Structure 1
Amino acid sequence: MYKKVFEIRWSDVDANRHLANSAYVNFMSHTRVSFFDDHDFSLADLVKFDISPVIFYEHIYYFKEAFMGTPITVSLEIKGFSDDGMFFKFEHDLYDHKGNHLANCELMGAWINLKTRKLTGLPENLLEEIMSLPKAEDFKILTKEDTRKHGKMPKNLS
C-alpha cells in the first residue's frame, strides 16, 4: 500500500473549519501522481503519447472530521486494470495523525488520447510498466461490465 502525508492548510478547510471535500479530492489526486512518479510511470511519460488520465467517478465516504494544522495520510491501492490498460480502478483511505480512519474513496477512470479526445488503451511498453506496479490483494482485471456497473448514462437537457 502506497502512502503520502499532507498537512492540512488554511486553504484546505471550509466554512465549517474542517477539511473541505475538494481538499480530499486534491490530496487523493496528488497521491496518485506521486505514486506514479515514485514508480517511474510519470505523467511526462504519457505526454510522449498524448495520453492523460480522466476520472469517471469518485465515491467518497466520510467517517470523521479532519482539522487545519494536523497531518493527514492518504493511501492508494490499485484495485484493477483492464487487459489493454485503458480502464483503472483505485482505492484511497485517509487517516488522521492518530490513525483514525477519516474517509474512503473508490474511483474509476481511463486514459484519454489528447488529440482524438477518445479513450485509449496504453501503448505496449506503458502497459507492461503499469501492469508491473504493486496491486491490492483483491486486484482484478476489469471487464466492460465493471466499467458500467452503476448504469449511469448521459441525458440530454430538454
Structure 2
Amino acid sequence: MYTKEFEVRWSDVDANRHLRNSAYIDFMSHTRMSFFLEKGFGQVQLAKMNLGPVALHEHMYYFKEVFPGKPVRVSLQLKGISEDGMFFEFLHNFYDTDGRNLARCEMLGAWIDLSTRKLTQLPEDLFHFLEGLDHTHDFRILTKEDTRKYGQTPVDLALQDK
C-alpha cells in the first residue's frame, strides 16, 4: 500500500493546537499527486493528456487528534472506479508512528478535459495505471448512481449553488 509521511508543522495546526481540517485535505492531495508523479503521471504528463483531476466530495472521519512533533503517514488505496475511468474513489487513512489509525477519508473524484472543461473518460494507459493501485477490501465498479446525491450529479449540485 502506498503511503507518504508528513511532518506536522506549526502552520498545519488550528486554534485548538491540533491538525486543522484543511491540512488533512492538503496531505491527502499531496499523497495522491506524489503517487501519480512517482509512477510517471505527474502534472506535465497530465497536461500533455489535457486532463485534470477534480475532487467531487471528501468525507472525513476523525478518530484521534494529531499534534505537531510527530510525523503522520497517509495511505492511498483505490476504493472504486467507473468502467470508463471517468469517476474514481480513493480511501486515505492517517496513521501515527505506532501505526494507530488517526483518521480516514473517502474521496470521490472525476477527470475533466482541460479544454472543454467537461468530465471525460481516461485514456487506456492511465485507466490501467489506476486499476493497478492497491484496492480496498470493499472495492467496487462505480456506476452513475454512485456519483449522484439526491438524484443529481455532483456537477449539477455545484451549479445550483452558484
Output the TM-score relative to the length of structure 2. Answer: 0.88
Supply the RMSD in Å over aligned alpha carbons: 1.8
Structure 1 segment 33-112 matched on structure 2, within 5 A: 33-112=33-112
- Matched positions, count: 157
Contact 2:77 2:133 in 1 (8 A): no
Query: Cα offset for 1:119?
Result: 0.4
Higher mean alpha-carbon deviation, 130-139 vs 39-48, is at 130-139
Output the TM-score relative to the length of structure 1. Answer: 0.90
Structure 1 residues 83 and 58: CA distance shift in structure 2, 3 A = same
Higher mean alpha-carbon deviation, 33-42 vs 10-19, is at 33-42
Structure 1 residues 136 and 156: CA distance shift in structure 2, 3 A = closer
Ranges in structure 2 where 5+ consecutive residues have no aligned partner: none
Q: Which amino acid aligns with 2:74?
A: V
Contact 1:41 1:129 in 2 (8 A): no
1:126 aligns with 2:131: no
Measure the CA separation in 2 of the matches of 1:97 and 1:133. 24
Q: Which residue of 2 aligns with 1:141?
A: 141
Measure the CA separation in 2 of the matches of 1:156 and 1:44. 32
Structure 1 residues 99 and 128: CA distance shift in structure 2, 3 A = closer
Measure the CA separation in 1 of the matches of 2:146 and 2:43. 25
- Residue by residue, what CA displacement relative to the aligned partner does 1:122-155 show, whole Å, maximum 9, x if unpaired? 1233223333333233322111111115656523
Q: SS where residue 139 of structure 1 aligns?
A: strand
**Identical-residue share of aligned pairs (%):** 58
Measure the CA separation in 2 of the matches of 1:121 and 1:41. 16
Q: Which residue of 2 aligns with 1:13?
A: 13
Measure the CA separation in 2 of the matches of 1:127 and 1:10. 38
